[in-house]
Amino acid sequence: MASFTPNLEPAPDASLQFKPKKPRITLQTPSSCPSNQRTQRIKRWRTQRDQHIYSSKLFQALRRSRRTSASREVHETADRVLAGLARGTTRWSRAILTARKVTKHKKAKLPTNNRLRKPDIYRERRKTTAVERKLKVLGRLVPGCLKLSFSNLIEETSDYIAALEMQVRAMTAITEFLCGGTGGGPQPPADRLPSNVNS
Amino acid sequence: MSGRRSGSGVSSISDDQITHLVFKLQQLIPELCARRSLKASASKVLQETCDYIRNLHKEVEDLSDRLSQLLASIDTDNDQAAIVRSLLM
């Protein structure tokens, strides 16, 4: 897989401020000491190798699936492959993989059962600070992290963000690759078409 | 992570831990990282995190939209699909 895409350039980083991709990192350090484990975890989604693995897996999944004409299916497939790569080590990946079964049944968010909630005057009204409110929003954004402790939520968030960034990079690369392959695509650059002025 | 005191609040771990974790998070967000402000407030970091995740979600959606269109057009062309497959596997 060394020459996976010889002339494929990653998406220009001008518009997206990603960290520059690190060179291929050989994970041969013994993961016995926690600091090494943490370094491995930090570098987890940022290596070229991981991205290549994800791209090829995603492409295979897309080719196998029949219904690739719906963007929702593509999105779900991409999420599923991404979560699969995590190998069940993170909560959000497990939530994505298990949630897929119930997506068909539950389209909208379940409303909170307001009847069972005690009205505010009976509950001791904790002043939800701005930070706590934002934590809640964050917990909703990361799948499967609705009621997590602060430190766990931050851990999950950092992993999720790294994974999402890799997902965007990989999908951009695949899109550009397919674009170049078909020679057309949504934005045909003018210099590509040699003879445009015919008839 | 130890150091979690039982309290009435949702997140009542020690303040030091909070700032440390928030700082860790801050380093992941490109906007906050680029500005080099040493320590943004927790609320700002969380806000930027949420916005950033929403941004990423939207990008993935747009990308999957494009991909679905491209794949629909590729499905009709089997030769190129075979080439692409052979290159990727």
User: Per residue in B46-80, pLDDT tens?
Assistant: 898 999 999 999 999 998 888 888 888 776 666 66
Reported ipTM: the value is 0.71
In a domain, B62, yes or no: yes
Count of CB pairs separated by less than 8 Å, A with B: 151
> Between the CA of residue B51 and those of A80, A149, B23, B59, what are the distances in Å?
23, 21, 17, 12
In a domain, A42, yes or no: yes
Q: What is the mean pLDDT of residues A11-24?
A: 48
In a domain, A127, yes or no: no
Domain with A83 in it? 38-100+143-179
Which pLDDT band, with edges at 50, 70 and 90, does A182 fall under? low
Domain with B58 in it? 15-88
Cβ–Cβ contact A182 with B under 8 A: yes
Cβ–Cβ contact A172 with B under 8 A: yes
In a domain, B1, yes or no: no
Number of independent structural domains in chain A:
1
Q: What is the mean pLDDT of residues A69-89?
A: 85
In a domain, A175, yes or no: yes
Closest C-alpha to B81, from A64, A4, A49, A69: A64
In a domain, A167, yes or no: yes
Q: What residues contact B8, with CB distance under 8 A and at least 6 apart? A: A124, A126
In a domain, A51, yes or no: yes
Number of independent structural domains in chain B:
1
Which pLDDT band, with edges at 50, 70 and 90, does A24 fall under? low
Q: For residue A126, which residues of chain B lie inside 8 Å, CB to CB?
A: 8-10
In a domain, A120, yes or no: no
Instruction: Compute φ and ψ for A114, nearest 5 degrees.
Output: -70, -20
> For A81-90, what is each residue's pLDDT tens digit?
888 888 878 8
For residue B20, the chain A residue with the least C-alpha distance is A151
Residues 64-103 of A with CB under 8 A from B: 68-75, 78
- A198 to chain B, closest Cα gap in Å: 24
In a domain, A32, yes or no: no
Of A54-58, A128-132, A176-180, B3-7, highest mean pLDDT: A54-58
Cβ–Cβ contact A45 with B under 8 A: no
In a domain, A117, yes or no: no
Cβ–Cβ contact A186 with B under 8 A: yes
